Amino acid sequence: MHDALLFDFLQINSKLEKQIKQNEEKMKHLDSKVEELEQYSRRNWLLIHGILHIKGEDTDKVVLNFLKKKLDIELEDDSIDRSHRLKSMATTKNKPKRIIVKSVTHNDEDWVYYNKKKLKNQEYLITESLTSVRLQCMKKPKEEYLAKKITSYWSQDGNLFYIKSGSHVKQMIKSYTDFK
């Protein structure tokens, strides 16, 4: 009887272990899908770094003025769905808070992001609004870039890319472990 109970217990335990593994795989898949959806929902959002704060400012007007002066892009007032300053992540209080901007159309966001190269070697920066998972994934390429192991890394439509030193082939980063 003892052996029969032990055998039944081992069978049940084995089934439960298989079910736990299946559930863990499903959870990984669902987590990945949720992260993809979160990134997709951010596709019209950009972050503008470096614009000084003016008390009582209308961030929509500040952004439109910035785009006109710095990027030669004239957008209509109603092309911005919403914008506001974000809480500071800077370690010093001298850095201005970032402005997050949501464009009404993806084409406007795309055009601004494409023209951000005009800001090279200035105190301004335009970045995509990436999920925390994708921001984590960008840490490793940054380290590799500083170590001169890759020549460039960037995001485009929420996707992460890099080019290894000595190569011209664009590689996509799908997860932190993919980069390794």
In the chain, where the domains are located: 1-41, 44-129, 130-180
Its pTM stands at: 0.80
- The CATH fold assigned to 44-129 is Alpha-Beta Plaits (3.30.70)
pLDDT for the residue 3? 86
pLDDT for the residue 177? 64
For 99, list phi and psi in degrees, rounded to 5: -110, 130
pLDDT for the residue 57? 94
Question: Taking a C-beta distance cutoff of 8 angstroms, is the pair 167, 149 a contact?
Answer: no
Q: Which spans in 42-138 are helix H?
A: 59-71, 106-114, 132-137
Say if residue 112 is exposed, middle or buried (CB neighbours under 10 Å; 0-12, 13-18, 19+): buried
Q: Which residues of the chain fall below pLDDT 50?
A: none
Short-list 89, 111, 86, 110, CA closest to 99: 86
- Residue 107 to residue 169: CA distance in whole angstroms: 27
Question: Taking a C-beta distance cutoff of 8 angstroms, is the pair 39, 134 a contact?
Answer: yes
- Residue 34 to residue 23: CA distance in whole angstroms: 16
Question: Taking a C-beta distance cutoff of 8 angstroms, is the pair 113, 101 a contact?
Answer: no
Question: Taking a C-beta distance cutoff of 8 angstroms, is the pair 126, 154 a contact?
Answer: no
Residue labelled with tokens 């092309």: 79
Q: In 3-state terms, what secondary structure has residue 170? A: strand
